[in-house]
Structure 1
Amino acid sequence: MHYRTLGKTGFQVSEIGYGAWGIGQTGWIGANDDESLKALQKAIDLGLNFIDTALGYGDGHSEELIGQVVRKNAGQRIYVATKAPPKNGQWPAQPGVKAEEAFPKAHVIECAERSLRNLGTDTLDVLQFHVWSDEWAGQGDWQEAIQQLKEQGKIRAFGVSINDHQPDNALRLIETGLVDTVQVIYNVFEQSPEDHLLPACQKHNIGVIVRVPLDEGGLTGKITPDSTFDPKDFRSHYFHGTRKSDVYNRARRITADLGIATDELPELALRYILSNPAVSTIIPGMRSVRNVERNTAIGDGKGLPADQVKKLKNHRWVRNFYA
């Protein structure tokens, strides 16, 4: 496993991190706690040391599972990043809404305390706001909460999870110097972070956590026009209508363009992201030992050859399936 520095935090984190939404048993359907624990342990055994979760994943269930594994591996340095949900329950953050409505000081502190209890740890390595609006950079008392939590040793770093497909909606915050990390959707289809966000992060030494590296499955090559999902699974909406066919056809164009087999697509997609030096770590969801073994093997520091990166630039696809 190859490691990179998470911006100004100085944390040396594995290129391949663990995205823990899928093990919280909300949104993603089908997780099994025993298998999730085995997958987490296998990931750590293979050198993974960065796990991303959230208080909202199963109302703390994801955090509780992670806490079990972290405590079991107390002799190893494992970095855990979690997220505080907005108090007003708005996903994503809406323009014109005041910071006080989403992240008032008392709410931020309460969320941090709940996450600490769920994880069974004394400190959160990174506390992120689960949504963000750049209007909030100069509003409210959330900054006081972050400062207090840092001074008390309850958090080591502060970050934000940028709204889906709005990578420029954190540029002002980055300029203020108040943030240590940003989490953003970035993949072969969603290349817009390359335009402004990633250069800004490099300039200001901000850690970059990449979520949705495989487009919720769209870049695995396994989504076909005939794919079906549990009605309670968020992917039943994400891939509704003609979207399964659209994704299937786009994926086929990529494999044809680069002359690879369909089962090579996930590795190509992950290596594309890791070829960008601004990226600190990527957090694919890995609910099975098999997926852990396949994905962690890609964190070898090699990325992709320049000619393949160049070809993939032509497959940018501007859209928002969450809308």
Structure 2
Amino acid sequence: MHYRTLGRTGLSVSEIGYGAWGIGKSGWVGADDEESLQALQKAIDLGLNFIDTALGYGNGHSERLVGQVVRKNISKRIYIATKVPPKNGQWPARPGVPVSETFPKDYVIEQTEISLRNLGTETIDVLQFHVWQDDWVGQGDWLEAIQQLKGQGKIRFFGISVNDHEADNVLRAIGTGAIDTVQVIYNVFDQSPEDRLFAACQKQNIGVIVRVPLDEGGLTGKVTPDSTFDTADFRAHYFHGTRKNDVYSRVRNMAADLGVSIDEIPEIALRFALHHPAVSTIIPGMRSIRNAERNMAISDGKALTPQQLKILKKYRWIRNFYA
């Protein structure tokens, strides 16, 4: 496992982190707690030391599983990032909504205390807001909450999880100096963070956490026109209409252009998400030991070739499957 510094935090985190949405039993359907625990343990055994979860993942279920594993591995330094859900329950954050409706001071402190109890830890390494609007800079008393929590030792660092496909909707916040990390979607299809966000993060020494490196499964090569999802699974909407066909054809064209098999696309996609120097860690989901082993193996120091990157750049795709 290779490690990178998470920006100004100074934390040395594994290139491959653990995205814990899929084990929370909300949004993603089909997780088995015992299998989830085994997959997370396997990842840790292979060198993973950064886990990203959220109070909103199964109303704390993901946090409780993460806490269970972290406490079991007390001899290892594992860093936990979690997120405060918006008080108004709106994902993503809507323009024009005041921050007093999403992250008022007392609410932020209350939700952080709940996360600490779920995790069973005395401190949270990185507390993040789960949504964001950049016009909230200078509004409300949310920053007072962060400063108080830091002063009490309940959190070490603070970050923002950027709205889906709105990579620039955090640039003002970065400029304030109050933000330690940014979490953003970045993958072969969504390359928008390269336009402005990554440079801004590098300038301010902001740690970058990359989510959805496999496009919610679209870049695994497993989504076909015949794929079906439980109606309770968010992917039933994410891949609705012509989307399965669109992803299927693009991934196959990509494999042909690269001269590789479909089975090699997930590895290439993860290496793409890691290739940019602004990126500190990527957080794919891993609900099985097999996936944990495959994903951990990507951190071997091998980079994509310039020719591979040139080909992948052509597959930038302006769309919002979350809409």
- TM-score, structure 1 as length reference: 0.99
Trace 1:70-81 onto structure 2 (pairs within 5 A): 70-81=70-81
Amino acid at match of 1:272: F
1:94 partner letter: R
Opposite residue 242 of structure 2, the aligned amino acid is: T
1:188 paired to 2:188: yes
- Residue identity opposite 1:296 in structure 2: M
Q: For the residues of structure 2 that align with 1:57 and 1:90, how far apart are their CA atoms?
A: 14
The structure 1 segments of at least 4 consecutive aligned residues displaced by more than 3 Å after TM superposition are: none
CA distance in 2, matches of 1:263, 1:81: 31
Q: Percent identity?
A: 75
Alignment of 1:153-164 (within 5 A): 153-164=153-164
Alignment of 1:42 onto 2:31: no
Report the 3-state secondary structure (helix = DSSP H, G, I; strand = E; otherwise coil) of the residue aligned with 1:4. strand
Counterpart position of 2:300: 300
Matched, 1:150 2:160: no
Where does the alignment leave 5 or more consecutive residues of structure 1 unmatched? none
| 2:168 corresponds to | 168
Deviation at 1:303, TM superposition (A): 2.7
Question: Aligned partners of 2:295, 2:123: CA distance in 1, in Å?
Answer: 28
**Does 2:16 match 1:20?**
no
Tell me whether 283-292 or 301-310 shows the greater mean CA deviation.
Answer: 301-310
What does residue 113 of structure 1 align with? 113
Partner-residue secondary structure (3-state), 1:210: strand
CA distance in 2: counterparts of 1:237 and 1:299, whole angstroms: 32
Report the AA paired with residue 313 of structure 2: K
The aligned residue for residue 83 of structure 1 is 83
Provide the secondary structure at the position in 2 that maps to 1:82.
strand
The SS at the match of 2:137 is helix
SS in 2 for 1:96: coil
Question: CA separation in 2, counterparts of 1:303 and 1:129?
Answer: 32
Distance in 2, matches of 1:196 and 1:12, equals 25
Match in the other structure for 2:134? 134
Number of residue pairs matched by the alignment? 323
Q: Residues 1-323 of structure 1 correspond to what in structure 2 (within 5 A)?
A: 1-323=1-323
Deviates more, 1:137-146 or 1:297-306: 297-306
- 1:232: Cα distance to partner? 0.5
Q: Letter of the 2:40 partner, please give it.
A: L
Distance (whole Å) between structure 1 residues aligned to residue 124 and residue 301 of structure 2: 27
C-alpha distance after superposition, 1:264-300 (max 9, x if no partner): 0000000011110000000000000000000011012
Q: Secondary structure at the residue paired with 1:47?
A: coil
Structure 2 CA distance for aligned equivalents of residues 4 and 85 of structure 1? 27
Question: Alignment partner of 2:255: what SS?
Answer: helix
1:216-260 alpha-carbon deviations (Å, 9 max, x no partner): 000000000000000100000000011000000010111011000
* Aligned partner of residue 126 in structure 2, secondary structure: strand
Amino acid at match of 1:140: G
Residue identity opposite 1:165 in structure 2: H
Amino acid at match of 1:220: T
Distance 1:303 1:207 in 2: 21
1:218 is paired with a residue whose SS is helix
CA distance in 2, matches of 1:138, 1:310: 41
Distance between the aligned counterparts of 2:309 and 2:6, measured in 1? 23
Partner Cα separation in structure 1 for residue 129 and residue 143 of structure 2:
12
For 1:23, the aligned partner's letter is I
CA distance in structure 1 between the partners assigned to 2:287 and 2:145 by the alignment: 34
Q: What CA distance in whole angstroms lies between the structure 1 residues aligned with 2:192 and 2:285?
A: 22
The CA distance in 1 between the partners of 2:312 and 2:51, in whole Å, is 28
Deviation digits for residues 76-122 of structure 1, max 9, x if unmatched? 00000000000011111011111111000001001110000000000
Bigger shift: residues 301-310 or 149-158? 301-310
Structure 2 unmatched runs, 5+: none
State the SS of the aligned residue for 1:173. Answer: helix
Indicate the SS of the match to 1:217: helix
Letter in 2 for 1:30: G
Counterpart residue identity of residue 48, structure 2: L
Relative to the length of structure 2, the TM-score reads 0.99
Q: Secondary structure at the match of 1:315?
A: coil
